[in-house]
Amino acid sequence: MRLGLSASSIQLGASALLTILALSCAKGGDLVDGDDGDGNSGNGGTGSGAGGSGNGNGNGSGTMKTASATTAAEASTSTGPACDEDPCKLVEPQCGCMSGDACTINGSGDRVCTTAGSAAWDAACNAQNQCAPGMLCAGYAAGLDSCAKFCNSDADCEAPGGLCAVTLNDGMGGTLPDVTLCSTNCSFTTNGCAVAGTSCQLGIRNMTEPFTLCAPSGTGTQNTNCVDSSGCAPGFICLTTTAMDERCFQWCDVNAPACPGGLICQQLEVSAGVPLVIGTTAYGACT
């Protein structure tokens, strides 16, 4: 069975120059683990990332598959010391697995114990046994895998952009219960994503809470046509114009704008009258 991200979307406020429509988390992109069961890199679909989409639906989802019991990670359902979660606890500090093992999710969505690695949060990976306990090797497309962190609450994640907001679908239209991952804390203007081929993009939780995540990026720059932000270069977002076409626009900091060529940093809004602010940074687009 393949598991997937549950997406979120937001209708951003209209502006004088742009009609800013849905920004969706991992719309249509694939989230795959770093091992396809035979020791090779997992195969993802075409990742479209997290970004502005002109159609306003924003309800696509990514898919992921995780290490099976036959991978080099040697996943097992055997457990170690007693644990308050059955059979083991995903979030650090973990319990339920033997020393040297880590609790993770297999391709059926079950918790299993597997050989623990040492790669840190957001580090590139290509197999489940490379990530430290509390992490899952996953990515939105083949070759874009990194160690994602399991979480119970926002306190487990890195502020201000990282939220406990990434959920997994069960492949049958539902959500895998009791499994949530932190989004990556990054900056839209300076990027900060560790894996080449990804960029800092926008997600929205509960229609009101913006967060950051690293998702596949493209090459489109100012005014380049796009479908969503996976077609835009790092530092750019795909937005719908008043002409009802989608184009890449450069991100900017409203309080310290650095737009090129006389462009103006136009404030973006989460909802009418509510500016898009993450931490202390108010974000806009160069228009």
pLDDT > 50? residue 93:
yes
Average pLDDT over residues 245-270: 94
Nearest-angstrom CA–CA distance, 112 and 74: 10
Amino acid 169: pLDDT:
64
Alpha helices (H) along 22-171: none
Amino acid 7: pLDDT:
35
As a whole number of Å, the end-to-end CA separation of the chain is 44
Token output for 169: 């679908």
Residue 267 vs residue 62, higher pLDDT? 267
* Range from 67-76, 96-105, 155-164 carrying the lowest mean pLDDT: 67-76
Average pLDDT over residues 244-266: 94
Q: Which of 39-43, 44-48, 73-77, 146-150 has the highest mean pLDDT?
A: 146-150
Which H or E run contains 277? Answer: strand 277-278
* Range from 57-61, 122-126, 150-154, 264-268 carrying the lowest mean pLDDT: 57-61
CB-side neighbour CA atoms (13 Å) of 282: 12
- What size, in residues, is the chain? 287
pTM exceeds cut of 0.85: no
Amino acid 132: pLDDT:
95
Residue 194 burial (10 A CB sphere; 0-12, 13-18, 19+): middle
**Residue 30 contacts residue 64 (beta carbons within 8 Å):** yes
Nearest-angstrom CA–CA distance, 49 and 216: 5
pLDDT > 80? residue 63:
no
Residue 81 — very low, low, confident or very high, per pLDDT cuts 50/70/90?
Answer: low
Beta strands in 72-197 (DSSP E): 101-105, 111-115, 135-139, 146-149, 164-169, 175-182
